[in-house]
Amino acid sequence: MKQERESLEFDIVFVGAGPANLASAIHLQRMIKRHNAQSGIPLEPSIAVIDKGRYPGAHLLSGALLDPRALEEFFPDYREQGCPIEATVSKEKLWFLQSKKKFPIPFVPKKFSNEGALLLSLSRLGAWMAEKADEEGIQLFDSTAATAPFIENGNVAGIFTDDKGRDREGNAKANFEPGLLLKSKVTVIGEGSDGSLFRQLSTLYPSESPGQRYETGVKESWRIAEGKLKAGEVQQFFGYPLSAESYGGGWLYAFSPTLISIGFISSLGPDSPLCNPHLNLQRFKLHPLLAKILIGGTMVESGARTISSGGLDAMPQLYGPGFLVTGESAGMVNMQRHKGIHLAMKSGLLAAETLFEAVLHNDFSNERLGSYTERFKNSWAFEELHASRNYRKAFDNGLYAGLFQAGFQISMPGLSLPKTQQSLPDPFSGLKKRESAFPAIPEFRADGYKTFSKEQSLFRSNLMHDENQPCHLQIKAQDIAEICLKKCLAEFNNPCQHFCPAAVYEITTEPVPALKLNASNCLHCKTCEVADPYGVITWSVPEGGSGPGYNMS
């Protein structure tokens, strides 16, 4: 018997329970409570937050260093309220690495500095914020994925959520439950980098933006022996193992003398067609400076995620009919500081102020929602993103040119580049072909102790994925035959095998050449969708609750 999709009505639905949307929901609810305490006409909007992770914070991953500026604005007593801060930055170092050598940069430029920043696990911060949202009376649905927008009269009027209990072929299993239709007056998209719902909305409501660009960060948390680092020590690295043509770098943050975050950001641009972000982190850890710290330690958690790195010029329109875009979905990342959580929170606060006005005047028109853009342009978040807008672009001509230009920009912000680039380069326009693009990476064998294979890392990602569900990675059979197994193989040796940090893509040769998809390994990092040179991969959300289960990330 066919089961009907149930429909629930809300005033506001937040898609994604990251720092942007949780800050937004909490701030909005508090403004409403303050209003109701002073006014005879109470406002009672219904608010829901959904997230595809199986618990709050499950899919949140970052270094993470938090500039507390936005948090202080809406949660001045965050420390007293138990915000899970591990340490405050106590010491900073910047290094340039060669394979066996290290060169300390004599001072950390102010624009790079993390003075006053908080070290924390983003997944724990998300869980704490979800708890605070719950205390404010906000309904939070985890294990719930937004699969598509619900469009009515040309407006986004809600979302469809995922069906539960379909088998590999799409048939209903015994435990089948149809997804819901969550109707709303405004949908707030805060899915993080390259969200699936936002992708669909970008096609339905194209904006003038030249499009986003991305990097991939791969991160591990380690327990290390005492006596090597002090709580709050922050070290950032350029150079090894990347060539001078590639953008990227590593980090090491000491949450305590025995718990560290170590990670590496790899560019997925024209100079890194065969980029292997997981391998870059493994090789980075073998540098003597890092190896000395890790020896005797244990890796306790591993994960990966793309980072939106296009900055101000790549930001999409922040609103559309019936929706707002927050946080990294809106590209709120300052690559110069390698920070975005504070900008994500600030965008959430500005969205909340816009939503409050909309609820107050019962006006959810495009004009009303568009005031979010004005709020953003008048905020410190815009100022910060404007000041750093050329930083990442400066590295398009290689590390040394980038360091020179970035240094110049830091000293004289207005004179850094002859003119602001109006559009981003097509990340694949200069994609080198197989013959010229194979980097000379020596044969690498993980030792299972300091370095790990992709499969070994997955054991520490707390992955969960029902194998008997429709494959969430879609590539047309004709594209597999014509592109993957012929054109892409000949030109790039199938970069998906390299750039996916979870070994999801595997080219097999027996009995006949085929592309095998190990979809249950997927970390939801979205690298494949942003790095696929032929655009043949579509990543759609699997059943809610699938994917990694981060806790220390």
Site membership for ligand SF4, residue 504 (CB under 6 A): yes
Structure token pair of residue 323: 């929706």
User: Of these, 28, 85, 182, 525, which contacts ligand SF4 (CB under 6 A)?
Assistant: 525
Q: Cβ closer to ligand SF4: 142 or 194?
A: 194
Q: What angle do CA 354, 355, 358 make, to 5 degrees?
A: 90
Q: Which of residues 456-485 bind ligand SF4 (CB under 6 A)?
A: 473
Q: What angle do CA 182, 547, 464 make, to 5 degrees?
A: 115
Min. distance of Cβ 213 from ligand SF4 in angstroms?
A: 16
Q: Cβ closer to ligand SF4: 164 or 524?
A: 524
Site residue total, ligand SF4 (CB under 6 A): 13
Cis-peptide, bond into residue 511, ω within 30° of zero = yes
Min. distance of Cβ 192 from ligand SF4 in angstroms?
A: 12
Q: Which of residues 194-253 bind ligand SF4 (CB under 6 A)?
A: none
The strand pairing partners of 218, in sequence order, are: 264, 304
> Given the structure tokens 């047309």, which residue do they identify?
476
CA 430/CA 434 separation, integer angstroms: 13
**Which window, 46-54, 275-283, 286-294, 520-528, contacts ligand SF4 (CB under 6 A)?**
520-528
**Which window, 41-49, 55-63, 458-466, 499-507, contacts ligand SF4 (CB under 6 A)?**
499-507
Cβ atoms of 30 and 348 closer than 8 Å = no
Cβ atoms of 336 and 388 closer than 8 Å = yes
Q: Cβ closer to ligand SF4: 324 or 475?
A: 475
Site membership for ligand SF4, residue 539 (CB under 6 A): yes
Site membership for ligand SF4, residue 523 (CB under 6 A): yes
The total number of residues written for the chain in this structure: 553
User: Of these, 522, 536, 541, 552, which contacts ligand SF4 (CB under 6 A)?
Assistant: 522
Q: Cβ closer to ligand SF4: 59 or 389?
A: 59
Q: Cβ closer to ligand SF4: 64 or 525?
A: 525
Min. distance of Cβ 424 from ligand SF4 in angstroms?
A: 21
- Secondary structure (H, E, C), 18-67: CHHHHHHHHHHHHHHHHHHHHCCCCCCCCEEEECCCCCCCCCCCCCCEEC
User: Of these, 28, 49, 97, 502, which contacts ligand SF4 (CB under 6 A)?
Assistant: 502
The strand pairing partners of 96, in sequence order, are: 103, 238
Min. distance of Cβ 34 from ligand SF4 in angstroms?
A: 41
Cβ atoms of 142 and 14 closer than 8 Å = no
Would you state the torsion angle of the CA atoms of residues 284, 286, 289, 293, taken in this order, to the nearest 10 degrees? 110
Binding characters for ligand SF4, 291-320, by CB under 6 A (x = yes): ------------------------------
Helix (H, G, I), strand (E, B) or coil at 347: helix
User: Of these, 201, 218, 358, 528, which contacts ligand SF4 (CB under 6 A)?
Assistant: 528
Residues in Cβ contact with 426 at an 8 Å cutoff, skipping those fewer than 6 apart: none
User: Of these, 97, 495, 524, 549, which contacts ligand SF4 (CB under 6 A)?
Assistant: 524
Helix axis angle, 366-377 relative to 341-360, nearest 10°? 140
User: Of these, 87, 500, 515, 536, which contacts ligand SF4 (CB under 6 A)?
Assistant: 500
**Which window, 7-15, 50-58, 116-124, 523-531, contacts ligand SF4 (CB under 6 A)?**
523-531
Residues that bind ligand SF4 (CB under 6 A): 473, 500-502, 504, 522-528, 539
